[in-house]
């Protein structure tokens, strides 16, 4: 009887180890197949594409796009859009990133004066840090209520004169709220509530 019990315990222990390691592998695979990226990663992908057309390409604006999921809690989204200036071509290019790939582009004539150029060295505060701060400091919740056009958290980066705004959009008391941070320093700049 003692020998049978030892074998059964041995089999159970091996079974638990196999189950444990198979679960680790499942979680690892799920992380690897996640195509969500931060604002800064989306920017890098878009700029790399644009600089194949014009080495002097620079960002004008970037924002996340709804993916029909309550995503963005970690500062990452699957879909992004950006507008990049191509000064040597006297054009702008609209770029859509989906699942870490450039999926659509649209050339626009002229260099717009309605946006200020955003340089990479100005972006030190990323969407993953901004959403944590918005949740912790302002109890911002993900959008997705019946009165919304989007799900989860969303992100926008735009420059107005000398201030680079990184905005996190979500929900507060069933109203849309935007929390604005300085994208270079991470400093809180204000919030906007839409009723």
The whole-angstrom distance between residue 168's C-alpha and the CA centroid of its chain comes to 10
7 lies in some domain: no
Looking at the whole model, is its pTM more than 0.85? Answer: no
Model confidence at 15: pLDDT above 60: no
Residue 5: its pLDDT value, please? 46
Task: Give mean pLDDT, residues 85-113.
Answer: 92
Q: Find the domain containing 148 and state its range.
A: 39-194
Q: Which residues contact 167 (CB under 8 A, 6 or more apart)?
A: 155, 156, 157, 158, 178, 179, 180, 181
3 lies in some domain: no
Q: 96 pairs with which residues across the strands?
A: 81, 104
pLDDT tens-place string over residues 119-163: 989 999 999 999 999 999 999 999 885 556 678 999 999 999 889
Residue 22: its pLDDT value, please? 40
130 lies in some domain: yes
Residue 144: its pLDDT value, please? 80
pLDDT tens-place string over residues 26-81: 333 333 348 899 999 999 999 999 999 999 999 999 999 988 888 999 999 999 99
Residue 150: its pLDDT value, please? 79
Q: From its phi and psi, is residue 67 left (phi > 0), alpha (psi between -120 and 50) or beta?
A: alpha
Total tally of structural domains belonging to the chain: 1
84 lies in some domain: yes
Q: How far apart are CA 84 and CA 9, in angstroms?
A: 63
Buried b (16+ CB within 10 A) or exposed e, 78-100: bbbbbbbbbeeeebbbbbbbbee
Q: What is the CATH number of the domain that holds 74?
A: 3.10.450.40
54 lies in some domain: yes
Model confidence at 11: pLDDT above 60: no
153 lies in some domain: yes
Of residues 18 and 178, which shows the higher confidence score? Answer: 178
The 8-class DSSP code of residue 154 comes to: E
């Amino acid at each position: 009887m003692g020998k049978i019990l030892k074998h059964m315990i041995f089999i159970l222990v091996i079974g638990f180890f196999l189950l444990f390691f198979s679960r680790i592998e499942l979680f690892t695979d799920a992380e690897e197949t996640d195509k969500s990226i931060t604002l800064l990663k989306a920017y890098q992908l878009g700029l790399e594409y644009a600089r194949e057309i014009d080495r002097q390409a620079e960002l004008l604006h970037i924002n996340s796009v709804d993916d029909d999921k309550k995503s963005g809690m970690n500062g990452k989204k699957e879909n992004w859009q950006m507008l990049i200036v191509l000064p040597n071509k006297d054009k702008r290019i609209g770029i859509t990133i989906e699942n870490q790939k450039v999926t659509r582009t649209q050339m626009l004539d002229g260099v717009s004066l309605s946006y200020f150029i955003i340089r990479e060295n100005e972006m030190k505060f990323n969407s993953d840090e901004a959403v944590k701060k918005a949740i912790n400091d302002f109890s911002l919740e993900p959008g997705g209520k019946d009165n919304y056009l989007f799900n989860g958290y969303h992100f926008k980066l735009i420059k107005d004169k000398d201030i680079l705004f990184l905005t996190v959009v979500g929900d507060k008391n069933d109203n849309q709220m935007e929390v604005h941070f300085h994208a270079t320093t991470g400093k809180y700049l204000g919030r906007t509530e839409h009723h």
